[in-house]
């Protein structure tokens, strides 16, 4: 990786939950404008890592640097204001609010109504189905549409970096492909993507670089195409020995 282009970096990050260490000296780098994936099974610590970036988990050692600024101790809303958005695991929409209200919440830091409208049109250009359902209650949308809404809401924050937390979870195969196509499109408009995902095949296909987390530690990393061939990855995901 080109160190001059590093947008987000974790340096030897260790976290605890109760008396248990959840992340153990985790270091990773995300280059500006790239798609970087984080692989790992349930319980590996992926969610803890995401929550650490967002300021939701206390870090006892190490640092998180975003665009050359130490954000380790920032509150979540200040981290988001810096330009980090998340499309959360399990869709995470507000089910009793309309599609429009969900999207408006994504732009809560923006006071300029014209700018909000502009962002809304960008979201609708990616997700025409959401435009058709602007006044529909979010909880009545299909699973695929709720995923679109979660991504759209994250886009409303005008992020520099977007975290996708398990975007394929619970989706039918055809919707998984559609979701990953959307992630590629978002990356092409200049937004850096940190893709946290169990679907190694899909993640490594669109990522330029990847990390493999196991029991709170990064045990493998590398260029995505090469990472797929590492023994530990083949054994975990592709039936290799």
168 and 143: one domain? Answer: no
Q: What is the pLDDT at residue 208?
A: 97
Domain count, the chain: 2
User: With 90 as the cut, is the pLDDT of residue 20 above it?
Assistant: no
Q: Domain check: are 56 and 98 in the same one?
A: no
- Judge residue 222's burial from the number of C-beta atoms within 10 Å of its C-beta, 0-12 exposed, 13-18 middle, 19 or more buried: middle
Q: What is the mean pLDDT of residues 124-150?
A: 93
Q: Measuring CA to CA, which residue among 74, 81, 210, 97 is closest to residue 149? A: 97
Same domain, 117 and 216: no
CATH number of the domain within which 62 lies: 3.40.50.300
Same domain, 165 and 63: yes
Residue listed under structure tokens 């995901």: 237
- Strand-pair category, 35-39 with 6-17: unpaired
Residue 1: band (very low, low, confident or very high) from pLDDT cuts 50, 70, 90: low
Q: Both 27 and 136 in a single domain?
A: no
**71 and 6 share one domain:** yes
d(CA 241, CA 235): 5
Asked if residue 117 and residue 224 are part of one domain, the reply reads: no
pTM of the predicted model over 0.75:
yes
pLDDT tens, 169-204?
888 888 899 899 999 999 999 999 999 998 999 999
For 210, the domain range is: 1-83+159-173+190-241
Q: Are 165 and 66 contained in the same domain?
A: yes
Residues 76 and 113 occupy one common structural domain: no
What is the per-residue pLDDT across 24-56, written as a single tens digit (0 to 9) for each? 999 999 999 999 999 999 889 999 999 999 999
> Are residues 136 and 195 both part of a single domain?
no
Same domain, yes or no: 109 and 14: no
Residue 164: phi and psi, rounded to 5, are: -105, 110
Question: Does a structural domain hold residue 30?
Answer: yes
Q: Compute the average pLDDT of residues 62-90.
A: 94
Report yes or no: 76 and 84 within 8 Å, Cβ to Cβ: no
């Amino acid at each position: 990786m080109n160190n001059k282009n590093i947008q987000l970096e974790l340096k030897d990050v260790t976290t605890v939950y109760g008396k248990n260490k959840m992340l153990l000296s985790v270091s990773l780098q995300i280059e500006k404008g790239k798609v970087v994936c984080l692989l790992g099974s349930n319980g590996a610590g992926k969610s803890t890592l995401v929550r650490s970036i967002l300021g939701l988990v206390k870090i006892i050692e190490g640092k998180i640097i975003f665009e050359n600024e130490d954000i380790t101790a920032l509150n979540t809303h200040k981290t988001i204001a810096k330009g980090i958005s998340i499309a959360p695991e399990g869709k995470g929409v507000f089910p009793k609010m309309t599609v429009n209200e969900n999207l408006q919440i994504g732009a809560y830091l923006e006071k300029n109504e014209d700018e909000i409208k502009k962002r809304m049109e960008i979201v609708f250009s990616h997700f025409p189905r959401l435009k058709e359902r602007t006044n529909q209650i979010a909880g009545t949308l299909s699973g695929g549409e709720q995923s679109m809404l979660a991504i759209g809401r994250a886009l409303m924050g005008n992020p520099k970096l977007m975290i996708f937390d398990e975007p394929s979870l619970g989706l039918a195969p055809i919707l998984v492909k559609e979701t990953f196509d959307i992630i590629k499109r978002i990356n092409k408009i200049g937004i850096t993507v940190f893709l946290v995902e169990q679907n190694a095949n899909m993640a490594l296909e669109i990522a330029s670089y990847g990390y493999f987390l196991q029991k709170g530690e990064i045990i493998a990393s590398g260029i995505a195409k090469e990472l797929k061939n590492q023994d530990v990855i083949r054994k975990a995901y592709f039936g290799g020995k």
